[in-house]
Structure 1
Amino acid sequence: MNSWKASMKRSNSEGETVTQATKPTTWSDPAKRVQPGRTEPVAQGWVNFLGGPMGRFAQVGRAAFWTPLRAIIAVAYVFLSLGYLSKANCTMGKPDDNGVLQLNWGGSRQYTSFCYNDIVPLYGARGLDSPGFVYDYSWVEDGLTRYMEYPVLAGLFQQFAATISRNTYFLADRFLPEVGWYFAVTALLMSILWVCTARMVAELAGNRIWDTLLVVGSPLLIMHAFTNWDIPSIFFLVAAMLAARNKKFWLAGILIGAGTAFKLWPLFVLGAYLTIAIRKRNLVPFFKMTVAAAVTWVAVNAPVYLRNPEAWSEFNRLNTDRGWEWTTIYAVISRATGWAGFDDGSGAPVILNTVTFVLFALGCLAVLILGLRAPKEPRVAELLTLIVGFFLLFNKVWSPQYSIWLIVPAVLAAPYWRLLLSWMTVDMMVWPILMWHMHGVQNLGLPGGALNLIVIARDVLIIAIMVVVVRQMFGKTPDKVAAAHNGHDPLLTTPDQWLTKLDDGTPSPTDPVPAPTTP
C-alpha cells in the first residue's frame, strides 16, 4: 500500500495554518480505516478474542507482513479451500477392472454429501474430455440436436481448462479420475481470478477495506465457489467498476462486454451507470462504456456465430424453452398450492417468460426512478444491488450459485455485517436442503415444504438488504460507506478526491470542490 507522504502546510480561509497530508493515488490513509472491531457488533467477538481493537497509540499501517490486503487474501485462500473440499466427494473415483480410476457417484453421493456441481458431469457430456472445438460438439437428446449451452466466453474458458487438464493428467492419474483432475484445474484457475477480484474489491472499499472480509469469507463461497463457472463473470464486473472509477471508460466497457460474453448479468451494471449519468446530465462516459461493451461482445461472439449459428443459439434456445427452477418463487408457489403455473400448452413457457421479463423490467424502471428521485446521488453499488436483487427475485431460473453475484454489490452498497452474514448463511443452506429434497421423499429426502421455508427465508433477507439500500438512498438509514469517504462514492471518485481532509478528519474549508465526476 502507498503510505502518506510528508505533510505540507498551507492556509485556510481564515488565514490559519493547517497541515494536510499529500493525497495518495491508490490506497487510503491507514489512520482513516474503519475498524470493524469498533463498529460492527458481529466482528467484536472475534476481534476481542484476537486481542481487541487497535488502541490510540497503535502504529497503523506499519505492519511488516500482515497488511489488511494480505490478511484478506489469506482468508480468501482458506474459504476457497473449503469450497473445493465441499465438492471433493464428487471428484473421487474407484478403479475399474483395468485399474484405471473412474468417477464414482455411487450411493447418490452428489445428493447425500451435497457435492453436486456442473463442472464434473459436463466434462464428458459436452465433449471437453476430447480434442476439438467445444462449439462443434453435438449430441441428440429427445430428437433435438444439442450443443454447448453456455455463452461463448464461458465455453471457451471450459475448453481452456480442459486442454490444460488433459495434457497434465499424468500428474494426478494415480489418485484422481480424469474428470476429478479437470475439476481441480478449473478450481485453481477460478481461485486465481477470485484472489484478483478480492484485490480489486479491497481497493474499491477504500477506508472500509475490512468489509472485503465479507466477500472473501462469505459462507456462500463454501457452497458455490465451484458449483459452476460464475467467478470469472464477477471478476470482469469488478474490474469494470475499478476501471470506471479510474475514469477509463473504454476499458470499463470492454470488461463489461467480456463479462456479458461470459454470463449475461454483468450487463446490469450499465443500468446503474445510466442512472448516475442522467443525474449528472453527462451521458458521454456511459455511451463510451456501452459502445465498448457492444463491440467487445460482438467481437467475441461473431466467430462462433459464423462458424456454427445453431451452436451459438443454444444458450438462447435453452433459456427460452426451460421452465422455472427449483428455488424460484414460482416453484415455491407451485409446490405450496399445486398450481401448474403459466403453462399455455405450447411447450415453451411463453407466458412465464413474459411475466418474468415484465417484472424484471418494472424492477429496473423502479431503480431508475428511485435513483433519479433520491435526494442525494445514489452510489453505483446501491443501484447495482437493487438491479441484481430484482433479477434474482423475479427470474424463472435461480441456480443457487447465482447468489454469489450479489456478494460484491451488497458488501459495497450496505456493509451491515450482521444482515449480510445472516443472508449469506441462510442462502448457503438452500443448497444442502435442495439436495436433500432432490434425493426424493421415498429415499428419506426432505419434503417440498422444507425447501419452501428456506427459499422464502433467503428471499426475505435479500428484500431486507434492498430495503436498507433504498433507505440509505433517501437518507433514512445511515450510509456507512459515504460517511467513511467524506460523502463521496468510492466507486466514482478516486482517493485523491475523497481523502481531502484536515488532520482531525473534517473537510478542509479551502479544499477546491471536486469537479463533477461521471460514471
Structure 2
Amino acid sequence: MARGWVDFLGGPMGRFAPIGRARFWSPLRAVFTVAWVFLAFAALAKANCAGGRPDENGVLRLNWDGNRQYTSFCYNDIVPLFGGRGLDQPGFVYDYSWVEGDLTRYMEYPVLAGIFQNVMGFISRNTYFLVDKFLPDVGWYFYLTAFVMSVIWVITARMVAELTGNRIWDTLLVVASPLLIMHAFTNWDIPSIFFLVAALLSARNRKFWLAGALIGLGTAFKMWPLFALGAYLVLAIRKRSWGPFLKMVFAAAVTWLAVNLPVYLRNPQAWGEFQRLNTERSWEWTTIYAVASRAVGWTGFDSGGGTPEILNTVTLLLFLGGCIFTAVIGLMAPRDPRVAEILFLTVAFFLLFNKVWSPQYSLWLVIPAVLALPHWRLLATWMTVDMLVWPILMWHMLGTENKGIPGEILNVVVLARDGLIIAMMVLVVQQMLGRRHDKVLEAHNGKDPLLTRPAEWEERKVPA
C-alpha cells in the first residue's frame, strides 16, 4: 500500500537523483497537497451543518431541519457552541454564563481552548459583512475556524515530516487519514495536536525549555499533551539523566500557570467548569462502559444520580495501571524505548479506559501511532474503522423510532475499533521488547528520530 502511494507521487529518491533541482514536486509539497485535499474533504463533510436559509425577514439563519446533523453525520461542536457559549457576542468568553436548572454554567473548555474560540468569534463577527449574503453568521464562524485550524494542521504536518526523518512518506498516513475527514472540524483538537508535535520537535532539537512550554500550552488547550512527559520520565530513569526532563516539567508548569491564573483570579467558578463537568458527567456513547450497558443492561458502578464517584475512581485506577504497565515495559526493555512508543501506549490506555471518548479524540492517536508503528495496512484499517464509529453513532442517536439503528450495531463497530487499537498496542510492546523488528530504528541506524538529529542517523564509517 505504501509503495503504491509513493510510486503514484513520484517514487523514492533514486541513487543519481539531483537534489533540489525538481521543477515543483518534492516530498514536502506532495504532503502539503494531500493535506489540503483531505482538509477540504473534512470541511465538506461538515458543510451540511453550516448552511442556512432565509427567515421571514430575509436574514440567513442556520438550517438543521430534518435532523440533518444526524442523517448527514455532520454534527460538530463548533456550530452550536457559537451561540451557546456567547461567542456571537462581544465580551470575554469566561464572563458569559447561563442557567440550567439550579446550576449556573460557564464555558466548559480549558482556558486556552476557550480563548481560541473567543478570538475566532471576534474575527468572525467583525468580518461577517463579507459573506452575509451567502452564509449565516455561525456558518462563517465555522468556515473561518476550519481554515485557521487547517493552517495549523499543515504546519503540524511539516513538523511531523521532520520527526519521521528518513521515513518522510509516513507523513502521508497522517495527512491522508480517514479520521481527518471525519473529525478535523468536529471540535477544536487540532491546536492541541500542534502543541504536542511542536514540543516533540523542540525536545529532539535539545530545546527542552521550549518543549516544556509547548507542553504547558498544549495542556492549557486540552489535557492530553501532558502525557508526553511520561515518555521523557521513563527515559530519564533509564538514562539517569534528569536535567532535560526537569527543565520540561518546570517550563510546562510555569506556562500552564501563566495561562490559567489570570482566568482563575477573574472568575474561579468559570475556570473550574471544565473540572466540574468532567467529574460529574457519566460515560460517553462509545466507551467500553457504554458498550457493556447496551449489551447486558448494566446500570453502572454508581446507583442513583449525582456524581459517578466509583466510575471516576475505576477509570483513574485503570489508566494509572496502564501507565505503570507502560513504564515497567519501558524500563525492562533491552533497548531504550522510543518516545513515540511510550506516548502511543499512554494515549491508547487513556482512550480505552476513560469514561469519555468523544470520537474526535481518536485524532490524538494518529501521529503517535504513525511514529511508533508505521505499518500502513494496519494503521489504515484502524483509522477507517475508527472513522466509521461516527456515522454509526449518529445513525444510532436518531433513535429506532426515527429509523435509527439499534445499539448492537454500534457495539460491534466500537469493539472492532478497540480491538484494532489493542492489536497495535501488542505490536508496540513486542517491538519494545525486541520481539519484532522496528522499521523506524532500521531507517535511522538504530537511533530514535525523536531524540536524535539527522547527523546522528548516518552510518559511522570505520577507517581502513
Q: TM-score range by the shorter chain?
A: over 0.9
Residue type of the alignment partner of 2:244: P
Q: Which digits, 9 at most, give the CA deviation of each residue in 1:12-53, with x for residues without a partner? A: xxxxxxxxxxxxxxxxxxxxxxxxxxxxxx133445566766
Residue aligned with 1:89, SS: helix
Q: What residue in structure 2 maps to residue 509 of structure 1?
A: 462
Deviation at 1:365, TM superposition (A): 0.4
SS for the counterpart of 1:94 is strand
CA deviations 1:374-428 (Å, max 9, x no partner) are 0000000000000000000000000000000000111011100000000000000
Deviations 1:74-102 (A, max 9, x none): 11000000000000000000000110000
Q: How far off its partner does 1:474 sit?
A: 1.0
Q: Could you tell me how far apart the structure 2 residues matched to 1:191 and 1:144 are?
A: 36
Match of 2:198 in 1: 239
Tell me how far apart the structure 1 counterparts of residues 186 and 177 of structure 2 sit (CA, whole Å): 15
Q: 1:305 aligns with which of 250, 258, 264?
A: 264
Q: State whether structure 2 residue 347 is matched by structure 1 residue 388.
A: yes
Tell whether the 8 Å contact from 2:159 to 2:201 is kept in structure 1 after alignment.
yes
How far apart, in 1, do the equivalents of 2:178 and 2:427 lie?
A: 21
Tell me what 1:153 maps to: 112
SS of structure 2 residue aligned to 1:469: helix
Deviates more, 1:394-403 or 1:58-67: 58-67
2:92 pairs with 111, 116, 133, which one? 133
Runs (4+) of structure 1 moved beyond 6 Å? none
Give the counterpart letter for 2:59 in structure 1: V
Give the conservation status (yes or no) of the 8 Å contact 1:344–1:351.
no
Match in the other structure for 1:67:
26
Alpha-carbon separation, structure 2, partners of 1:195 and 1:510 = 43
Residue in 2 that maps onto 1:438: 397
In structure 2, C-alpha distance between the alignment counterparts of 1:201 and 1:53, rounded to whole Å: 18
Aligned 8 A contact 2:6 2:169 in 1: no
Separation of aligned partners in 1, 2:29 and 2:9? 17
Is the radius of gyration larger for structure 1 or structure 2?
A: 1
Aligned partner of residue 53 in structure 2, secondary structure:
strand
Distance 1:108 1:226 in 2: 19
Residue 469 of structure 1 is matched in structure 2 by: 428
Taking structure 1 as reference, are residues 103 and 271 closer, same or farther at Cα in structure 2, changes over 3 Å only?
same
SS of equivalent residue, structure 1 residue 325: coil
The residue number in structure 2 matching 1:119 is 78
Quote how far apart the aligned CAs of 1:477 are.
1.1
- Contact 2:323-2:346 at 8 Å conserved across structures: yes
Task: Report the count of equivalent residues.
Answer: 464
Alignment of 1:310-321 (within 5 A): 310-321=269-280
C-alpha distance 328-417 of structure 1, shift in aligned 2 (>3 A): same
Kindly state the Cα deviation for residue 475 of structure 1 after the two structures are TM-superposed.
1.1
1:408 partnered with 2:357 = no
Q: Give the aligned partner of residue 201 of structure 1.
A: 160
Q: What is the letter of the counterpart of residue 311 of structure 1?
A: A
Instruction: Determine whether 1:353 maps to 2:276.
Output: no
Match of 2:357 in 1: 398
Alignment match of 2:225 (pick from 248, 262, 266): 266
- The percent identity for this pair of structures is 72
CA contact (8 A) 1:325 1:396 kept: yes
Where 1:326 maps in the other structure, the secondary structure is coil
Q: Is the 8 A contact 1:88 1:115 kept in 2?
A: yes
Task: Report what 2:414 is aligned to.
Answer: 455
Q: Report SS of the residue matched to 2:99.
A: strand
Shift of 1:59: 4.2
Q: Distance in 2 between matches of 1:363 and 1:510?
A: 47
Cα deviation, 1:438-478, whole Å, max 9, x if unaligned, reads 01111111100000000000001111111111111111111
Deviations 1:123-157 (A, max 9, x none): 00000000011000000002100000000000000
Q: CA offsets, 1:332-388, max 9 Å, x none?
A: 000000010112335110000000000000000001100000000000000000000
User: Does residue 1:482 correspond to 2:435, yes or no?
Assistant: no
Unaligned runs of 5+ in 2: none
User: Kindly tell me: are residues 46 and 498 of structure 1, through their superposed partners in 2, closer, same or farther at Cα, counting changes over 3 Å?
Assistant: closer
Paired with 1:49 and 1:362, the residues of 2 have a C-alpha distance of 44
Q: What's the CA shift for 1:266?
A: 0.1
Give 1:293's aligned residue.
252
Please report the TM-score for the alignment, with normalisation by the length of structure 1: 0.88
* More helix as a share of residues: 2
Residue 447 of structure 2 aligns to a residue whose secondary structure is coil
**What is the CA-CA distance between 1:63 and the residue it aligns to?**
2.0
